Structure 1
Amino acid sequence: MDLTVADHASLHWLPQPLISAARSNLRQSCIIDLAPTARLLLREEVVLGRSGEGPGRLSTHLTVRRDARPLLDQQTRYGPGAPGWDGPAVAAGHRAVGQILLVDPASDQRPSQARLFGDDPETGQAVLTPLAGPALLTTALAPDTLHLRRLLDAAHPIA
């Protein structure tokens, strides 16, 4: 999917959670081009398997460009055939992952450094990270969607 957001326009991309069910195989790619004064609010939630089952194969690629320059370019792979996806560097045993990306040229509320949310890694954690330009990225891991939503909402309450 390719999306373009014009000057002074806003895009709120808030889909329902994506469930990567066992034996499924999904590749998705999204490219978003933002004009210099465009605003973006993107929220993604992924559930890795239904209750009591492992995930299918899932590959996602998100590219966001602002004023024709890269702002965020990330690719993730989960499930069978994706090396290390369940290890400490990726999902760390959690079954729900999500993120919120906010690009707002008019905002002056920007932390100077990353902030961690969630005291217990077992119930999930989120980190709010400032990106180059007027952007904030919140990334979260949790054991289920309930904990994931709570973390994302606590770290980024406007989304």
Structure 2
Amino acid sequence: MSRTPCGARVALVAGRALVLGGDAVSLQIEVGAGCTLELVEVGGTVAYDADGQGSSWVTTVGLGPGSTLIWRGLETVISDGANLHRRTDIRMANDARALIREVVVLGRSGERGGQLLLETSVTFGESPLLVESLDVRGDRPQPGILSDHRVLESVLIAGIDPDLTDEKHTMELAGPGALARSLGSAAHGLSLEETWNSWHTQLTRRP
């Protein structure tokens, strides 16, 4: 979409219907030393009814020294009958930074949603910063996980310690960074917009 000598703004556009049963999508991202990459999703992603047949979406990210990744992800919808394994692996140099938003919606309108295994691993230098796994089924809500909520919104900041004075639903990580998370019943009721804006300002103001 645009670029400078040390940065780029890149749109992610699906070339066909995604994600169907049996699909294996792989996305590899490398941001060089001192560079900034902003990823813009043009539309959300739908995992379609596949009668339980598995599909996968694996994203691997490498962030070089002094680099920055900004990725405001749109909704990933898990339709009835879908079975998606979505994994994100991020390796960061000690002075790299990242701001990433992820939204998962169980089911389209009138649906309860299929199966989802959501895994995230973030390594800062040589140390794990965030490692988590979420295994849910829309038709089998589990107390203490998502319960009857259909929407899970997450905002991750890594590489700096943000100001958490006025933040809610947020936890500090085992290193520089924080994770904000919110549960809801509908995508239009997402509540982390202020967190995203605040953390984006703090990230981009840092020298």
1:92 aligns with 2:147: yes
Please tell me whether the aligned partners of residues 107 and 150 of structure 2 are also in contact (alpha carbons under 8 angstroms): yes
Letter in 1 for 2:163: R
Q: How many residues align?
A: 141
Question: Take 1:89 and 1:143, find their aligned partners in 2: how far apart are those partners?
Answer: 16
Please tell me whether the aligned partners of residues 128 and 155 of structure 1 are also in contact (alpha carbons under 8 angstroms): no
Deviations 1:59-113 (A, max 9, x none): 11100000021000011112168xxx623311121111010000133x5x4337x
Task: Show the counterpart of 1:35.
Answer: 93
Please tell me whether the aligned partners of residues 78 and 105 of structure 2 are also in contact (alpha carbons under 8 angstroms): yes
Please tell me whether the aligned partners of residues 138 and 156 of structure 1 are also in contact (alpha carbons under 8 angstroms): no
Structure 1 residues 73 and 60, CA gap change in structure 2 (3 angstroms)? same
Question: Take 1:2 and 1:46, find their aligned partners in 2: how far apart are those partners?
Answer: 19
Larger Rg: 2
Question: Take 2:142 and 2:197, find their aligned partners in 1: how far apart are those partners?
Answer: 29
Superposed CA RMSD: 2.1
Structure 1 residues 66 and 57, CA gap change in structure 2 (3 angstroms)? same
Match of 2:194 among 151, 154, 157: 154
Offset at residue 115 of structure 1 (A): 5.0
TM-score using structure 2 length: 0.62
Question: Take 1:65 and 1:31, find their aligned partners in 2: how far apart are those partners?
Answer: 8
1:64 aligns with 2:122: yes
Task: Show the counterpart of 1:135.
Answer: 177
Offset at residue 16 of structure 1 (A): 1.8
Match of 1:110 among 163, 166, 169: 163
- Unmatched tracts of structure 1, length 5 or more: 117-126
Question: Take 2:196 and 2:143, find their aligned partners in 1: how far apart are those partners?
Answer: 24
Runs of 4+ in 1 over 6 A off after TM superposition: none
Identity %: 26
Question: Take 1:153 and 1:94, find their aligned partners in 2: how far apart are those partners?
Answer: 19
Task: Show the counterpart of 1:77.
Answer: 135
